[in-house]
Amino acid sequence: MNKVFFLDRDGVINKKRSDYVKNVEELEILPNLDTIIKKIKQNNYLVIVITNQSVINRGLSTHQKIQAIHEKIQSKLEMKIDGFFYCPHRPDEKCGCRKPKTGLLELAATQFDIDFKNSWFIGDSESDILAGEKMGCNTKKIKSEYFLENAVNTILK
């Protein structure tokens, strides 16, 4: 079974915007993300991004633009993120994949043999932490994207 670091996207691996990250031009990746991902993977964890992207169903972005954002993130990394899973729904749509619900984590589990008990979910919102806890993950809430490296270093000590 695989141990995983589940990471939220906006506010964890890239700068969060009050008007959402809607396209590649608005993406500001954490400067040391490559080093952080490398460290996680060298410690025998997979890295999977779990992110709510209601910008799609709000009509502010498209699936293609979100995928381009994820491709841009990957292009900056020597060791790649193993998977990106996103929910396009607005909160009022009451879907099963929008965090704090666990649909995206369950979907990841169908593609990767995940040991949730020995995995981590790092996020900057309560919905991230709740989703991780519901699946039996260890969780760590950070204040902003600039705290990801500290969280990873603390966990991997």
Residue 152 maps to a domain:
no
- pTM for this one? 0.97
Q: Are 129 and 123 in contact (CB under 8 A)?
A: yes
| Residue 9 within any structural domain of the chain | yes
Q: What is the pLDDT of residues 35-52, one digit of tens each?
A: 999 999 999 999 999 999
Q: Is residue 148 part of a domain?
A: no
Q: Which residue has the higher pLDDT, 144 or 26?
A: 26
Q: Provide the CATH number for the domain around residue 86.
A: 3.40.50.1000
* Percentage, residues of the chain above pLDDT 70: 100
- Selecting among 10, 82, 124, 128, the annotated active-site residue is 10
Answer for the pair 102, 134: CB distance below 8 angstroms, yes or no.
yes
Residue 146 binned pLDDT confidence (cut-offs 50, 70, 90): confident
List helix spans (H) across the chain.
33-42, 63-75, 103-111, 126-134, 148-155
Total count of domains within the chain: 1
Asked if 82 is an active-site residue, the reply is no
* Sign of the dihedral defined by the CA atoms of residues 61, 65, 67, 73, in that order: negative
Confirm whether 10 is a catalytic residue. yes
Q: What residues make up the domain containing 75?
A: 4-142
The pLDDT value recorded for residue 145 is 73
Q: What is the mean pLDDT of residues 15-19?
A: 95
